Structure formats: C-alpha cells, structure tokens
Amino acid sequence: MNIFTRGIILLSGLFIFWQFLVSAFQLPPYILPDPITVFKAWYHNRILIMHEAIPTLLETLLGLLLGTILGCSTALLMAFFRPVTLWILPILLISQALPTFAIAPLLVIWFGYGLTSKIITTILMLFFPITSAFHDGLKRTELGWLDLAKTMNAKKWRIFWFIRIPAALPSLASGLRVATAIAPIGAVIGEWVGASHGLGYLMLNANARMQIDLMFAALFTIILFSLVLYFIINKLLTAAVFWQPEN
C-alpha cells in the first residue's frame, strides 16, 4: 500500500468521523459545519481562496529558501570556526525561546504589512531546526573517515567539503523535513498578526463574520498545500541523499 492510498484512507476516515460528530451531537454550522458544507464553501469561494493562497505560498517558499540558506550558513560557520559557536549558540536558543506570537507584532511594526514581515517570521521558525540538525550532522562525522583523510595529508577544507558535509546531509535532510512541515505555520501566524492578504488573513475575516464554513475551507487549503509541499521536498531530499536508507 503506497503513501497515496494510505492518505486517501486516512482522509476518508477523518471526514466520516467529522460527519459523525456533527450528526451525533447536532452541532450548528457556526460551531462545526459538516464536510459537505465546507466543500460547498470552498467551491463557491474557490477564486477568492486561490487568490489569497498566492501570498501565503510566496511567504512560505521564500521563508523556507532563505531560512535554509541562513541555517546552513550558520551551521557551517559554527563547525568551521569553533569559537564562533560560543557566540551563536545563545542566539539559536533565544530564537527558539521567543514565542512567535510575541515577536510577530513587532515584525509587522518594523517591516510593514507586506511579505517581508511574514517571511522573517517564517525564517525565525525554521532557523533553529535547520541549523541544529546540520550542525549536529557536521559534528558526528565518522572518525575513521577523518583519520584516513589526515593520513593521506588531505587539506582541512577538502576534508570539510568532501567528507564532513556529505556525511552531514542526512541530518540536514531531517532538519529540512521538519522545517518544511512548520514553514506554512510561520507564514499564517504572520498573517494573523497583521496582513492585508493571505489565507491567514482570510481565516480571520471569515471568523469575524461567523463564516465558519469559509474559515474551514481556507484551513483545509493550508493543510493541502502543506502536505503537497512536504511530499515534494521529501521526494527531492530522498533523491539527493540516495545513500540513506528509507524507513
């Protein structure tokens, strides 16, 4: 049974359970609409939802790209220049300790209601998992490989480029998978705090107008986008780190 079939079965079970809850407890639509009502809301508002999905998509992809570049660069700097670790490690911990909702309003004030503040919010959420995963992989290179390279008088940068970085790629791939899963969350949180476009903005407006069916339609659009993005990134990472066995 492949992943697509399992996904269809899980989604079908979720919708059946959802419909059972609505029917069994006679929940009103403003509390929990049934799946058919949500699907109708998505169909009737599909143009609006797709239009609002574009900014969220851009924020997520740009945040993921820039967060990956920043995280990898920081991990390489920490591994290549060990004294730098003592200065960067507190920044890593602070970036993780600060609640995103606490700093997101400041980012909106500093960078405005456009894409920039949402991208920075996403980067802050991705910075720690990517950096820590890649740095951990760089530190755990097989000692036998390093000893062999030193025996052959390999230069430090060649050891780093041809041994340590390839050996750390599986760890980086794990960090990227985590980052891919949470990247849309960063974009949506930024839109909740302050935005004029995006699926998060649409959800807030729908909630304020008691359009719960439209809010759920936007929510499931975010979930679908997150699943597709994770599936694509996972396939690319599996192909790139082909020597790492799949579980």
Place of tokens 């679908």: 224
More confident of the two residues 145 and 203:
203
**Domain presence at residue 155:** yes
- Answer whether residue 3 shows pLDDT above 70: no
**Domain presence at residue 5:** no
Say what the pLDDT of residue 208 is. Answer: 86
**Domain presence at residue 179:** yes
Say what the pLDDT of residue 244 is. Answer: 67
Give Cα 41 to chain centroid, integer Å. Answer: 27
The number of distinct structural domains making up the chain is 1
Find the domain containing 156 and state its range.
54-240
pLDDT digits (tens, 9 = 90+) for 91-111: 777 777 777 777 888 888 888
**Domain presence at residue 154:** yes
Say what the pLDDT of residue 246 is. Answer: 58
Both structure tokens of 79: 């591994």
Which amino acid is located at 33 in the chain?
Answer: P
SS3 155: coil
pLDDT digits (tens, 9 = 90+) for 5-62: 776 788 888 889 988 988 888 888 888 899 999 999 999 999 999 999 999 999 999 9
Rounded average pLDDT over 233-247? 78
Contact between 172 and 134 (Cβ < 8 Å): yes
**Domain presence at residue 19:** no
Alpha carbon separation from 176 to 25, 28, 112, 127 (Å, rounded)? 41, 41, 28, 10
Cα Rg, the chain, nearest whole Å? 22
More confident of the two residues 75 and 145:
75
Look up the CATH number of the domain holding residue 72. 1.10.3720.10
**Of 161-165, 194-198, 220-224, 231-235, which range is least confident?**
161-165
Rounded average pLDDT over 146-171? 76
Which residues, including other chains, have CB under 8 Å from residue 137's CB and lie 6 or more apart? 167, 168, 169, 170, 171, 172
More confident of the two residues 158 and 174:
174
**Domain presence at residue 106:** yes
